[in-house]
């Protein structure tokens, strides 16, 4: 793993990559998010932790509107994506997303998984799409697997292909929804390694995770959520070693 | 007795029972009558008699009609399935109403209405004459069944597939046609094969509305041979037609099953 270069502090007055304001989300009677304010600056890696049911995945899924917010604002690079005038598909193409269950397209080869959206959304020609796909497969260390089908790959390989698929859209930021939670323990490291490399290249990342080591080492900011609110946030090292809030302490004492 | 010994004894007993039942049926049958009524070439070699028309007219038309009805039915079923999954309530109601209506009617009645009722009611003759009208009826009935099959297939594709495609910025239509439907079709190949076979046999219903000599499907040809030709007065032509149906359907289902196994090996 290459040493991480010092990350540039976001310029004063620059627009946040992700800016969530007063976000509420209910599923029927069940209020999952109860007023979230949350932002990610360009180039920042923000890790979101919290017990299951705390709403952290819902928050992440609201950021590209896979979940429809009940109320509140979500601004991506300054654009309110809840505005009906906004071309949501265009915004989504700038936000890469990686799922817990990988969600590769099982009927397509690895190469086709990486070129389908490039061609359909960006209208890229085949040669260009393939070249970009190859570059990203090499980045995740799977350039020898372009003809394989997802079913023939290990979970860790599938997740790295999923990351390469998202990267092939050349997004401005990446969302990770518990990317290692469905993996066998020995495969977690490869995926985290790819994510670490990505962070060191300056990618803006929002990562919902249970990997405290990754949050501590790679994250610029750690957000602890519980009961649909942000309970505590700060520099990962400080939050993890000296949590201020009682609920954070209780959670960390269980997982660390 | 050990468990394996007992299991083996059971298996042998079962095999013996099956053989005994077959032997009993064979002994009970009146082979002379059977030969005379069901496999009687009327003095002419069978291949010189019925087989020619049964195959070159009947079987060929049956296969053609099935292909047309299946292709048309599947295309229309896709429209109906997408309507049933539409966010627009009117679309869903229309499709549901259509499916419930045509699934609840015997194909035979729909064929008769299309062939004989519609020309009277609307002063309009469906294209392709009586056979054309019958095929439209088969398409209408078949699409009602296949729409439900396709809808189930689409809904069986994991939600994450749609989410992955949409999160990449793909539009709903592109997502449906490039990500969801290719997987849905793979899921519904077994039930669709079933419906294809049902359709092959349903083309026999076209025999009720009449067709010109060269338009006759297999059952019509066979039925005509009951009263004419070398085997007239016996059911020989029906037995021959039955054999032809089996020669068409059994290899077909086997081929699909083989293809499905191959596909599964590649993609999961």
In the structure, what pLDDT confidence band is assigned to residue B207 with cuts at 50, 70 and 90? very high
Structure token digits, residue B53: 């028309």
Please give the Cα distance from B135 to B198 (Å, whole number): 14
Asked if the model's pLDDT at residue A11 lies above 70, the reply is no
CA distance B113 to chain A (A): 43
Q: What is the β-pairing status of strands A30-40 and A204-208?
A: unpaired
Asked if the model's pLDDT at residue A197 lies above 80, the reply is yes
Complex-level ipTM:
0.91
- Average pLDDT for B248-258: 91
B10 inside domain: no
B156 inside domain: yes
A29-48 pLDDT, tens digit each:
999 999 999 999 999 999 99
Q: Is B176 on the interface with A (CB under 8 A)?
A: no
B24 inside domain: no
Asked if the model's pLDDT at residue B242 lies above 70, the reply is yes
Asked if the model's pLDDT at residue B175 lies above 90, the reply is yes
CA distance B37 to chain A (A): 53
Percent of chain A, pLDDT > 70? Answer: 95
B117-136 pLDDT, tens digit each:
999 999 988 888 899 999 99
Q: Is B87 on the interface with A (CB under 8 A)?
A: no
Give yes or no for a contact between A24 and A71, defined as CB atoms under 8 angstroms apart. yes
Q: Which residues contact B15 (CB under 8 A, 6 or more apart)?
A: none
Are the beta carbons of B267 and A151 separated by less than 8 Å?
Answer: yes
Asked if the model's pLDDT at residue B45 lies above 90, the reply is no
Q: Read off the pTM.
A: 0.86
What's the CATH number where B58 sits?
1.10.3720.10
B142 inside domain: yes
Cα–Cα–Cα angle for B108, B110, B116, rounded to 5 degrees = 100
Are the beta carbons of B170 and A107 separated by less than 8 Å?
Answer: no
Q: Is B267 on the interface with A (CB under 8 A)?
A: yes
Give yes or no for a contact between B58 and B220, defined as CB atoms under 8 angstroms apart. yes
Check residue B268 and give its pLDDT: 59
Say which of B160, B174, B267 has its CB closest to residue A107: B267
B23 inside domain: no
Please give the Cα distance from B184 to B191 (Å, whole number): 12
Give yes or no for a contact between A218 and A196, defined as CB atoms under 8 angstroms apart. yes
B11 inside domain: no
Mean pLDDT (chain A, rounded): 93
Domain that holds residue B151: 31-267
Q: Is A165 on the interface with B (CB under 8 A)?
A: yes
Are the beta carbons of A95 and B167 separated by less than 8 Å?
Answer: yes
Q: Is A103 on the interface with B (CB under 8 A)?
A: yes
Check residue B1 and give its pLDDT: 64
Give yes or no for a contact between B186 and B262, defined as CB atoms under 8 angstroms apart. no
A119-155 pLDDT, tens digit each:
999 999 999 999 999 999 999 999 999 999 999 999 9
Q: Is B161 on the interface with A (CB under 8 A)?
A: yes
Neighbouring C-alpha atoms within 13 Å toward the C-beta of A62: 32
Q: Which burial class, exposed, middle or buried, applies to B223 when counting CB atoms under 10 A from its CB (0-12, 13-18, 19+)?
A: middle
Please give the Cα distance from A2 to A199 (Å, whole number): 11
Instruction: Tell me which range, A175-179, A183-187, B190-194, is most confidently predicted by mean pLDDT.
Output: A175-179
Check residue B127 and give its pLDDT: 87
In the structure, what pLDDT confidence band is assigned to residue A166 with cuts at 50, 70 and 90? very high
Which residues, numbered 114 to 143 in chain A, qualify as contacts with chain B under a Cβ-Cβ cut-off of 8 Å? 116-117, 120-121
β-sheet with A71-76: strand ranges across:
A30-40, A18-27, A71-76, A79-80
Check residue A1 and give its pLDDT: 40
CA A248 to chain centre: 22
Instruction: Tell me which range, A168-172, B27-31, B225-229, is most confidently predicted by mean pLDDT.
Output: A168-172
B16 inside domain: no
- Average pLDDT for A185-213: 95
Please give the Cα distance from B105 to B114 (Å, whole number): 13
B7 inside domain: no
Asked if the model's pLDDT at residue A172 lies above 70, the reply is yes
Asked if the model's pLDDT at residue B139 lies above 90, the reply is yes
Q: How many domains does chain B have?
A: 1
- Average pLDDT for B196-209: 94
Check residue B50 and give its pLDDT: 85
């Amino acid at each position: 793993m290459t040493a991480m270069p010092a990350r540039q502090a976001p310029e004063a007055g620059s627009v946040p990559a992700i800016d969530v304001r007063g976000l509420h989300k209910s599923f029927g009677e069940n209020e999952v998010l109860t007023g979230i304010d949350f932002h990610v600056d360009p180039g920042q890696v923000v890790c979101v932790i919290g017990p299951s049911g705390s709403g952290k995945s819902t928050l992440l899924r609201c950021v590209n509107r896979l979940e429809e917010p009940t109320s509140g604002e979500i601004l991506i690079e300054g654009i309110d994506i809840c505005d009906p005038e906004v071309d949501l598909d265009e915004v989504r193409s700038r936000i890469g997303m990686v799922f817990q269950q990988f969600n590769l397209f099982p009927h397509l080869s690895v190469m086709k998984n990486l070129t389908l959206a490039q061609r359909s959304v960006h209208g890229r020609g085949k040669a260009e799409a393939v070249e970009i796909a190859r570059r990203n497969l090499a980045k995740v260390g799977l350039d020898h697997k372009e003809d394989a089908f997802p079913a023939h790959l290990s979970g860790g390989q599938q997740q790295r292909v999923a990351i390469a698929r998202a990267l092939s859209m050349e997004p401005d930021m990446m969302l990770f929804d518990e990317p290692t939670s469905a993996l066998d323990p020995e495969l977690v490291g490869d995926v985290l390694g790819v994510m670490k490399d990505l962070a060191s290249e300056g990618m803006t990342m929002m990562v919902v995770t249970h990997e405290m080591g990754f949050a501590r080492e790679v994250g610029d900011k750690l957000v602890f959520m519980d009961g649909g609110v942000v309970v505590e946030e700060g520099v990962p090292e400080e939050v993890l070693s000296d949590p201020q809030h009682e609920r954070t302490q209780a959670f960390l004492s269980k997982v660390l | 007795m050990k468990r394996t010994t007992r299991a083996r004894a059971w298996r042998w007993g079962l095999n013996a029972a099956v053989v005994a039942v077959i032997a009993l049926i064979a002994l009970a049958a009146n082979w002379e009558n059977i030969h005379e009524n069901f496999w009687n070439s009327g003095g002419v070699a069978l291949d010189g008699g019925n087989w020619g028309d049964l195959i070159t007219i009947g079987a060929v038309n049956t296969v053609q009609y099935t292909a047309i009805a299946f292709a048309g039915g599947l295309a229309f079923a896709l429209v109906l399935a997408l309507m049933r999954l539409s966010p627009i309530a009117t679309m869903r109601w229309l499709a549901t109403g259509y499916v419930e209506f045509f699934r609840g009617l015997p194909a035979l009645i729909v064929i008769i209405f299309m062939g004989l009722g519609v020309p009277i009611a609307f002063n309009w003759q469906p294209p392709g004459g009586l056979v054309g009208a019958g095929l439209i009826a088969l398409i209408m009935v078949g699409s009602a069944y296949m729409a439900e099959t396709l809808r189930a297939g689409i809904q069986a594709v994991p939600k994450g597939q749609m989410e992955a495609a949409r999160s990449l910025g793909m539009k709903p239509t592109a997502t449906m046609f490039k990500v969801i439907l290719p997987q849905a079709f793979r899921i519904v190949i077994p039930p669709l094969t079933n419906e294809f076979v049902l359709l092959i046999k349903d083309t026999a219903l076209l025999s009720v509305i009449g067709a010109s000599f060269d338009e006759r499907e297999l059952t019509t040809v066979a039925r005509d041979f009951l009263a004419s030709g070398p085997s007239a007065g016996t059911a020989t032509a029906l037995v021959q037609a039955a054999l032809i149906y089996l020669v068409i359907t059994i290899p077909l289902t086997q081929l699909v099953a083989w293809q499905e196994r191959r596909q599964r090996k590649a993609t999961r």
